[in-house]
Structures are given as structure tokens and as C-alpha cells.
Amino acid sequence: MSERNVVIIGSGPAGLTAALYAARANLKPLLIEGLEAGGQLMLTTMVENWPGFREGIMGPDLMAEIRAQAERFGAEILQSTVSRVDLSVRPFPLELSDGARITADALIIATGASARWLDIGSDRRLSGHGVSTCATCDGYFFRGRPIAVVGGGDSAMEEAIYLTRFASKVTVIHRRESLRASKIMQDKAFANPKIEFVWDSEIAEVKDVQRGEVTGVVVRNLKTGALHDLAVDGVFIAIGHTPNTTLFRGQLDLDETGYIVTGQGTRTSVPGVFAAGDVQDHVYRQAITAAGSGCMAAIDAERYLEHLPAAADTQAATAG
């Protein structure tokens, strides 16, 4: 069994930044990539809001740079997934998908949150080519162009309103005949002259996969089954995110939607376990904020390890 000072689960901006900071602190961190190596930025094209790249940088290129920087300072990156972790025992035992076993004195969880898709195939195939799950990331690319937003909750209304800064028109497509959003968000959306609504409907297809860019959508009325084409240049899916916390249910405090609850920085309900990025942040969900919390988690872990003997004595006294 391999023994480690710090193990980081997840390889998006939060995980890789945590690895960079932990490596520079000489903690020799091990980062386990997980199923979505590189995180959601691997699905984007041009990133224009990451500081230091005034001409922008492609999402996969940005993640490759951060990864190489972390490795330069001694972070070890393992292409694997964690199948089991026990947070009731110290050091924390982890079992990987290939059966390998590792223990960690400190654990940083940066497993992120996965955007919910429409599951129609064409939406995923055109991801980064006109289909997006992040208005603040990609809205700028649709200046003066018509777009569609899918969803009816607060997040969908926030994205629709935000996108009116850029788009010529925003069409909200919702499966019901009324919104689920709070009244204040509904009022703001209804009052915006750039926003139109298509009720009781869903997107049956995003066009045009063969051209590799969005040229429109096919909308299905759920009451009549009728189909009609809607010409748009972009589609923003705002039907929520699912935090990747299945491994930690019953072991860490989660909020009602499954996000890890943190306090005093990135500390979780279990001493020695820290959470960073979208797995604990359902408000900002930006690459730069995820990276910032990854930095925080590494510093929190370093400070925890500095006082680990005292912490262990305290826990033993409490158990006694």
C-alpha cells in the first residue's frame, strides 16, 4: 500500500492548482485524474476570461499548461479513478479502479460537478461549437446573434438575462407552461424585451452536427408532438449541475443538492479532508474561482499536516 502526505482527487482547475501549491510546499502530492481528466474546460474552445492571456487560450491548452506546471514542481499525476474511500480511518484509505490501495494523511476533493445535458446526442457533439452550459464563459461569443436557453429555474433565468447583454434575441425553451424560477427572477425575465418564451416544449435536435456548428434547433411541443425549426446560433443548457459526490455520501456533510459543505476556508466536516472547486461551489462555477479554492485547499492541507500529531492526540482524547 502506498502512503502519501496529500492525495488530490480530480484534475480540473481546482485539483491541478492544489497539486501545484502542494508540490511547491514539498508535500509530494499524488493527483488522481478521475473520469473527466482536465475537467469541464476540456470541453470548451476559446477561454477569454483567464487572467494573463489577453488573446485568450483554448481550454484544453490551458489545462495542459497547468498540468505541466504542477508536474514541474514534483506533483505526481495518476491516470486512474477512485472506487472507494473510507473517511472514518486515518490515514484515509483509498482504493483505485485497478485495485491499487493508497493512504492519505490529507485528502483534497476536487471532483467537480457535471452539467446536465439534454441526452439527445447532438447537444454533446456540438459542445464547444455553439452549445454551452456556461453563459458567463461563452456569452461573449454570441454578440448580435440569436440564441436559445433551455430551462425554467433561477439559473436559466439568470443565464437568459445575462445573455441579453450580447445576443440579439434570447429564446427560453421550457418543458412546462410556467417557470420554476423565483418570482423576482421571473419578473426580470418577463420584463426584458430581448427574451421570448416557448412553453411546453423541448429541443428534439440541435442542428447541424455535420457542419460542426449550431445553425438552429428542432423544437418539439410536448402537448401536441408538433415539431418546428428555430433558427439560433447558440444553445445554452441551464437545467442544473450534479456534484460528483457519490463517493462521499454518508461520510461528509452535503447540502440538500449534494454539494460538499465547507467552512473556515475549504475544510469539510471531517478533519484532514478539504474540498475545492465546483464540488463545493454551486454559485460561481468559474475556472478561476475553482483554481483559487484549489490554492486555498492546498494551504489548508499544509497547515493541517503541520499540526497532525496534535490533531491526532486531540481526536484520540475526544474518542476516549
Whether 134 sits among the annotated catalytic residues: the reply is: yes
Does the CA dihedral 16-267-81-309 come out positive or negative? positive
Whether 295 sits among the annotated catalytic residues: the reply is: no
Question: Where do the domains of the chain lie?
Answer: 2-115+241-319, 122-237
Q: Note down pLDDT in tens along the chain; length 320 residues.
A: 689 999 999 999 999 999 999 999 999 999 999 877 888 788 677 788 899 999 999 889 999 999 999 999 999 999 999 999 999 999 999 999 999 999 999 999 999 998 889 989 999 999 989 999 988 889 999 999 999 999 999 889 989 999 999 999 999 999 999 999 999 999 999 999 999 999 999 999 999 999 999 999 999 999 999 999 999 999 999 998 899 999 999 999 999 999 999 999 999 999 999 999 999 998 888 899 999 999 999 999 999 999 886 444 433 333 33
Say which of 137, 233, 281, 300 is annotated catalytic.
137
Q: Residue type for 293, please?
A: S
Claim: this prediction has a pTM higher than 0.85: no
Alpha-carbon Rg for the chain, nearest whole angstrom, is: 22
Q: Does the fold of domain 122-237 match that of domain 2-115+241-319?
A: yes
Say which of 134, 233, 278, 300 is annotated catalytic.
134
Tell me how far apart the alpha carbons of residues 253 and 268 are, in angstroms, rounded to a whole number: 7
Class of domain 122-237: alpha beta
Tell me how far apart the alpha carbons of residues 38 and 43 are, in angstroms, rounded to a whole number: 9
Tell me what pLDDT residue 34 has. 86
Residue from 174, 166, 125, 130 nearest 149 by CA: 174
Whether 137 sits among the annotated catalytic residues: the reply is: yes
Say which of 61, 86, 98, 138 is annotated catalytic.
138
Class of domain 2-115+241-319: alpha beta
